[in-house]
Chains A and B, each alone.
Chain A
């Protein structure tokens, strides 16, 4: 019994210590403004590997999810004779929820795990140490550009996801199932608000992007520098990011769209 309580205490202590380390780590990475001539190419490189390389999976997933929404929405709504509302259903679902959340989950799996593994391996092969010994702070040189890149790429990926999804939904409902195109867009436009729906969705993705990238780079930086350590850090990145995204999504939705 006492052992259990002690184990719980140790767990709590570890959690607090990890959160503290993660915060300290974030401070170190974001402190100080880099010289643009040095920082810009590093950022572009990371935007490429974090953002551009995740584009394919985001576009394909967005397309299919939009098409499924179109199909399901049509089937359900046509029972009530209001299949013209399918456009508004697709757009609201994508812009408010699926765009930010699914993109964040894909991002954690595609880019987050890669970031963790890359940084973990740099740690294991002493690249981070040797950088420190060359008088270069790896937090600023390696971590900061990746953090910013994730932060910037995530909202871009999410809006692209939503647009592709809406297009996919239109393809199915208008072109295949014959929903009247004017009603499709008209219903959508009268019910989607740019500020309340689109911008709130973008705020969500900014938060998700920040959290996912932070978790990914921290797990890499903090991992045990062995093969097993890196693999467990990569798993943790995906699990923690997914849980954080789903939990935060509930909180943000309640704050943004809830009536209180």
Chain B
């Protein structure tokens, strides 16, 4: 890999409700690039982002972000580190009691003591970047799903972070909004030099904008590399996922006992 790593995960093990979600994940996310993390639903992509953000702690392993070991950070240091991170949640997660404008202004008001007119300029600039300057006075309940996510994006870049994490930004977007988002993500990365982590199961969109991609399944990374490398990847499982074939070595079903025993056929069939 050419550039240095901004985030480094080493042997991360994480279980939830007794189920092992990550079983020794090692991954480097390069600085200033767009990295796509792909995988079937429920493999723990969102969980991975929460681990990077320090909201969850791994059972073992280290997670280095900008040179700091996130699970070991004390509360205050963690909150300071998070000011350098932006995260776009799957649902947008706008504050429902604040207007679009106030949502974007929120991190500015909390973390800076800028005068009101400067806050206004910055907020309008960020809203303009996502094409919603005109929607500044709308409340979150008056926004469509796609608009919500764009306002949320404006909010997560309000403080000009070093790292931005997108959780399923394309899910449920119409083709135009999808195109707009793809362009936005790419522009943000190239103009501001943001390190971007993109979590998605939309293979074509993700591969079209990322510099680097990895595929997670069954708690392991089953393939990583540039989009071109991945397309040529020898592994059957990677190919199955990229091409969306229903049959193959990657199980589509949630782990379940043998079907026969659930339908009560085991005894009688013999």
Contacts and interface: CB of A to CB of B under 8 A. Distances in A.
B111 A135 contact: yes
Contacts of A134: 82-83, 106-107, 110, 155-156, 159
A121 B53 CA distance: 22
Contacts of A131: 95
Contacts of A56: none
B243 interface: no
B66 to A, nearest CB: 14
Interface in B79-105: 79-83, 85-87, 89-91, 93-96
B93 A126 contact: yes
Interface residues of A, number: 16
A133 B95 contact: no
Interface residues of B, number: 27
A127 B93 CA distance: 5
Contact of A129 (B86, B93, B159): B93
Nearest to A130: B93
B89 A126 contact: yes
Contacts of B89: 126, 129-130
Nearest to A124: B91
A61 B178 CA distance: 55
B96 A133 contact: no
A254 interface: no
A135 B93 contact: no
B96 A136 contact: no
Nearest to A131: B95
A125 B85 contact: no
A49 to B, nearest CB: 10
Contacts, number: 54
A133 B53 contact: yes
B55 interface: yes
Interface in B213-251: none
Contacts of B75: 137
A38 B110 CA distance: 8
B57 to A, nearest CB: 13
Given A126-B90, A126-B91, A129-B89, A135 B96 contact: no
A7 B55 CA distance: 31
A175 interface: no
Interface string B121-155: 00000000000000000000000000000001001
A129 B96 contact: no
Given A125-B91, A126-B91, A133 B55 contact: yes
B90 A136 contact: no
Contacts of B87: 130, 133
Contacts of B93: 125-127, 129-130
Interface string A88-110: 00000000000000000000000
A196 interface: no
Given A125-B91, A125-B96, A136 B53 contact: no
Contacts of A126: 89-91, 93
B34 to A, nearest CB: 19
A137 B86 CA distance: 15
Interface string A104-148: 000000000000000001100111011111111100010000000
A136 B50 CA distance: 15
3 smallest CB-CB distances across A and B, nearest first, come from A130-B93, A126-B93, A135-B82
Interface of B: 50, 53, 55, 75, 79-83, 85-87, 89-91, 93-96, 106-107, 110-111, 152, 155-156, 159
30 contacts: A121-B96, A125-B91, A125-B96, A126-B89, A126-B91, A126-B93, A127-B94, A129-B50, A130-B89, A130-B152, A132-B53, A133-B53, A133-B55, A133-B85, A134-B82, A134-B107, A134-B110, A134-B156, A135-B79, A135-B80, A135-B81, A135-B82, A135-B83, A135-B107, A135-B110, A135-B111, A136-B107, A137-B75, A137-B79, A141-B110
